[in-house]
Amino acid sequence: MVSARIDDIPINWLEEILNLSVERIVVTDRDGIILYINEAYCEFLGTTVEQAMRRPVQEVIENTRMHIVSRTGQAEIAAVQHINGSEMVANRFPLIVSGELVGAVGTVIFKNPEELHLYKRKIQSLVEELKYYKTREEKELTSKYSFSDLIGTSRHFVEAKELAERISVNHSAVLLLGESGTGKELFAHSIHANSLRSAYPFVPINCASIPEHLLESELFGYEDGAFTGAKKGGKKGHFQLANKGTIFLDEIGDMPLAMQSKLLRVLQDKEIQPVGGQKSLPVDVRIITATHRNLEKMVEAGEFRQDLYYRLNVIKIEIPPLRYRKDDIEQIAMNLVRKLEKRFHKKSVELSREVIRLFQQHSWPGNIRELENVLERCINVLDGSVIKPNHLPLYLRDQDAAPNDAATNPAGTKVLPLKEIIAEAEKQAIQSALSAAGGNRQQAAKLLDIGKTSFYEKCRIYSIN
């Protein structure tokens, strides 16, 4: 193996390297006599190398302390030195060879105020750019909602909200259940905002939106050269970004089984191992998960790890769908209208009573997300300040063609919508099972071959005590 040595470089090369340096350099012996000074320094001092060499340093350089440092052996770092009418930044180091103090080496930068300001402007520009990206990242990794943003007074919703608020100050894992569009992410944001971790990052990640082969590196990061196309220097994963804060794994039911086992290991050991890494890194995060899927059935079918399910299901919060919150619809709709007004530069938009009635008739399979999309459409086509039925999508207006959600066929027979027929059948089946089980809910759930959680949820939905 060939190693580089300084004496392999010709002396005239070394001199040119020192002359090209941004810094002005001087070297003295123990007595403060100049042994070396580069041309850049001499040019600034208004002298030449020949005139400066072998002279006492204090005769050549104004306000110097090089002769002092060469005797005391005490370094002086970032000292301000007045030379030729300019304030310079000077560094003076003792020169120790084989354990013996033999002299000193000094450097100064910024030969005039203009040069100092030029460097300052360049550095300030870089600092401001770094600050911008840091602030942007911090904003993206903070909770955007609080419990005051969760609108509604219906009993089941208030119960869910109160439970979330009560447990938010703890560190236990939270599992949010609910149909798509019910506001699970708002609950997650609010729990973090009200927690003791609120000053630290909130990192949301949708497990269903990331390809399976990328999920591990997104969650746990990777080391430099871990795989083809890996970013130089590696990359932090979401768990590292969320350290001391909260990570929100949405659509946890869509996480592949292989990743479930790795996630379980993180929850058990409280440490991660980046892809391509040789050592584990400790992490301290609170985990909030959410899904619209039935995890109990997935566990029974072998599609979700039972041990992970119990790790995540420490505190379960079930968020009711919008169709069971009819009394909240007007309040939620007006809150969404106020948000949309700002986006579309509208003022004092109201909902007509006919529109509110149609909203309360609709079953809202897309929940609050569907309601927001409907209102955004209305704001786009609005020709005044009141949203009326003619501003609604056709499928909502057509509800009026079937009063009380029922239609009449040519023979004059009333036909209920399928969702109502199914709901009534479910209600009757639950009541029959409870009667057969003598009121024992667990036994009734077994008779119906459904999970205990699902059974309790349906009892609440249909107000069965």
Q: Each residue of 49-108: pLDDT tens digit?
A: 999 999 999 999 998 999 999 999 999 988 878 887 777 788 999 999 888 999 999 988
Contact 401, 445 (CB under 8 A): no
Predicted local distance difference test score (pLDDT) of residue 141: 77
Question: Whole-angstrom Cα distance, residue 194 to residue 232?
Answer: 37
Residues 166 and 73 in one domain: no
Among the candidates 258, 283, 318, a domain finishes at 318
pLDDT in tens, 185-231: 999 999 999 999 999 999 999 998 888 888 898 999 888 766 666 66
Q: Is the same domain home to 335 and 438?
A: no
- Confidence at 313, pLDDT banded by 50, 70, 90: very high
Instruction: Give 9 or 268, the one with higher predicted confidence.
Output: 268
Percent of the chain scoring above 90 in pLDDT: 52
**Concatenated DSSP letters for 333-377?**
HHHHHHHHHHHHT--S-EE-HHHHHHHHHS--TTHHHHHHHHHHH
- In this structure, the dihedral spanned by the alpha carbons of residues 237, 243, 246 and 249, taken in order and rounded to 10 degrees, is 20
| C-alpha separations of 425 from 165, 354, 421, 428, 463 in Å | 35, 31, 6, 5, 14
Average pLDDT over residues 28-42: 91
| Domain match, 308 and 333 both | no
Domain count, the chain: 4
d(CA 460, CA 138) in angstroms, rounded, equals 41
What CATH number does the domain containing 34 carry?
A: 3.30.450.20
Q: Considering only 119-128, 363-372, 385-394, 425-434, which range has the smallest mean pLDDT?
A: 119-128
pLDDT at position 143 is: 83
At residue 125, φ and ψ (nearest 5 deg) are -60, -45
Other beta carbons within 10 Å of 223: 17
User: What is the model's pLDDT at position 228?
Assistant: 61
Give the model's confidence band at 404: pLDDT under 50 very low, under 70 low, under 90 confident, else very high: very low
Residue 116 lies in a domain: no
Residue 411: pLDDT band by 50, 70, 90 thresholds?
Answer: very low
Predicted pLDDT at 330: 95
What pLDDT score was predicted for residue 302? 93
Reference 91, options 78, 81, 82; nearest CA is 78
Among 2-11, 82-91, 174-183, 453-462, the minimum mean pLDDT is found in 2-11
- 248: three-class secondary structure by DSSP: strand
Query: Is it the case that residue 259 has pLDDT exceeding 70?
Result: yes
For residues 36 and 105, membership in a common domain is answered with: yes
Q: Does one domain contain both 214 and 231?
A: yes
- Which residue reads 């938010």 in tokens? 168
Q: How far is Cα 187 from Cα 174, in angstroms, rounded to an integer?
A: 10
Establish if 433 belongs to a structural domain.
Answer: yes
DSSP 3-state of 385: coil
Please compute the mean of the pLDDT values over residues 339-347 and round it to a whole number: 89
Considering the domain architecture, whether residues 267 and 157 belong to the same structural domain is answered as yes
Q: Do 176 and 310 have their domain in common?
A: yes
Which is more confidently placed, 144 or 438?
Answer: 144
Residues 33 and 161 in one domain: no
**Interatomic CA distance for residues 396 and 362, integer angstroms:** 7
By the 10 Å C-beta count (0-12 exposed, 13-18 middle, 19+ buried), 169 is classed as: exposed
CATH number, domain with residue 454:
1.10.10
> Domain range for residue 39?
8-109
Name residue 426's amino acid. Answer: E
Instruction: Please report, as a single letter, which amino acid is at residue 73.
Output: G
pLDDT the model gives residue 408: 47
Do 62 and 179 belong together in one domain? Answer: no
Q: What pLDDT band is residue 3 in, cutting at 50, 70 and 90? A: low
Query: 271, exposed or middle or buried, with CB in 10 Å at 0-12, 13-18, 19+?
Result: middle
Which long-range contacts (C-beta less than 8 Å, at least 24 apart) are formed by 440-447? Answer: none
Domain boundary among 109, 134, 156: 109
Q: Within this chain, do residues 94 and 56 fall inside the same structural domain, yes or no?
A: yes
Pair (182, 294) in one structural domain: yes
Count other C-beta atoms under 10 Å from residue 251's C-beta. 19
Find out whether 168 and 190 touch, Cβ atoms under 8 Å. Answer: yes
Report the percent of the chain where pLDDT is more than 70: 84
Side-chain-side CA neighbours of residue 71 (13 Å): 7
State the pLDDT at residue 406: 46
CATH of the domain at 377: 1.10.8.60
Long-range contacts: 391-400, Cβ < 8 Å, 24+?
391/355, 392/355, 392/358, 396/358, 396/359, 396/362, 397/358, 399/358, 399/361, 399/362, 400/358
* Residue 445: pLDDT band with limits 50, 70, 90: confident
Other C-beta atoms lying within 10 Å of the C-beta of residue 68: 15
| pLDDT reading at 315 higher than 60 | yes
pTM: 0.59
Residues 167 and 223 in one domain: yes
Residue 249 belongs to some domain of the structure: yes
Question: CA-CA distance, 432 to 444, in Å (whole number)?
Answer: 9
